[in-house]
Homo-oligomer: A and B are copies of this chain.
Amino acid sequence: MYIHKKELLFPVQVKSPNPAHAAAVLEQFGGANGELKACLQYFAQSFSTPDPAIRDLLMDISTEEISHLEMVGECITQLMGGPDKEQKMEEMGADERKMSGEGNILSDAKSHINNMMHFNFNSTVQKSMILDGHGLDFVDSSGTPFTGNFINNVGDLVANLQSDLAAELRAKKVYEELYRHVDDPGAREMFQFLIDREAAHATLFEEAIMRAKELENKKAHQTGDHVNMYFDLSLGGLAKNEFSFAKQAKVFEGPVEPKE
């Protein structure tokens, strides 16, 4: 079971709202390499993980990722100009609303955003404005919805942990790109924290992979006659001369004759 505490794992204090930057950060809220994906992947894998220590590790990191998700959600909300707390539109009659048009009833942040909508037209910002009134959707930076397809889980511990290591490295890379593109110092402090944490997780998963390999029986692997072959199918390249595997293996261009 879970307990939620009303403080962020790491404090988030955006200095200057910028809706296009908010849209960029959505990539890590509902995107393919984002915090929700990581949280759910480790959570799902934990149910079928036989080793208790690795199962615990998966739940520790999964719980940290949902805490990251909360930080990223707070960052996006602040970059969008804050929640539309007053919801003044609700309080106006139809005539007033007709007269006001947009602008005069809006805070400066909102006016800035409306200008963006008229002159710059980022479609993800536009959708967020129309649909949510500064709210949050589980979409990526292009407005594409989160999907369970992002989550990797097969019944093999090493394969799962390798998928987790790869997920951490991709997430870290995306935060590095966000660091380059989003110049708000408060957001960058959060990105740096998250880069550090994904690096720590990557190191932990590397250790867990070694542990999982040791847990496996050392008997002969279940491969057959076609492992030590290099198929040179993209003609004119370098790989067959550069990779030691290819140098030791049988290099040929196929097809394989049937075994007797």
Contact = CB atoms under 8 A, between A and B. Distances in A.
Contacts of A155: 84, 87, 131-135, 173, 177
A125 interface: yes
A24 B135 contact: no
B169 A131 contact: no
Which range contains the number of A residues in contact with the other chain?
Answer: 35 or more
A27 B131 CA distance: 8
Given A5-B3, A155-B135, A239 B183 contact: no
A82 B221 CA distance: 26
Contacts of A216: 87, 90-91
Q: Give the one of A94, A97, A203, A257 with max B CB within 10 A.
A: A94
A189 B49 CA distance: 26
Contacts of A109: none
A55 to B, nearest CB: 8
A38 interface: no
A173 B156 contact: yes
A55 B74 CA distance: 14
Interface string A41-74: 0011101111011111101101110110010011
A168 B153 CA distance: 13
A4 B55 CA distance: 13
Nearest to A31: B131
B243 A97 contact: no
A42 to B, nearest CB: 10
13 contacts: A5-B234, A7-B255, A31-B131, A54-B239, A64-B231, A94-B222, A121-B122, A121-B125, A123-B141, A136-B153, A162-B162, A200-B227, A207-B243
